[in-house]
Amino acid sequence: MALMALADVPEDDARGVTIRDGAKMRKFVVLRWKGETIVYRNRCPHAGTPLDWIPDRFFDRSGAFIFCATHGASFEPDTGLCIDGPCVGDVLDRCKFTVDDGIVTLAEPL
């Protein structure tokens, strides 16, 4: 299932996407971070809410950490590990994906 064009994600930033398949709806966040592409489910491990209040605003003010807008958890972009906030030690759910012809495609069930 195609998520988005990799070119739509600025380097060292992230973009969100919502995918629907019948009754299922899932949110994802695609990161380009230090030359690496990473896909996480857009779901905080603390309470399960999407990370971004403002669409596509996933990073904190420093630009160094992914931020959960709901209660302020901070996550390492490259590992998804929560290093501050109510879910320290939990990790974002990392997804398998492929990139073909510049399109990031989910390589696991929705």
For the chain, the 3-state helix, strand and coil shares in percent, each to the nearest 5, are 5, 45, 55
- Kindly tell me which of 69 and 99 has the beta carbon lying closer to ligand FES: 69
Residue 40 · residue 95 · CB < 8 Å = yes
CA pseudo-torsion sign 48, 77, 12, 7:
negative
- Kindly tell me which of 46 and 103 has the beta carbon lying closer to ligand FES: 46
Q: How far is the CB of 11 from ligand FES (least distance, A)?
A: 25
Q: How far is the CB of 65 from ligand FES (least distance, A)?
A: 12
- Kindly tell me which of 75 and 104 has the beta carbon lying closer to ligand FES: 75
Binding site for ligand FES (CB under 6 A): 44, 46-47, 49, 68, 70-71, 73, 85-87
Q: How far is the CB of 45 from ligand FES (least distance, A)?
A: 8
Strand partners, 27: 18
φ, ψ of residue 8 in degrees (nearest 5): -80, -5
CA pseudo-torsion sign 55, 56, 61, 64:
positive
Q: How far is the CB of 76 from ligand FES (least distance, A)?
A: 15
- Kindly tell me which of 42 and 104 has the beta carbon lying closer to ligand FES: 42
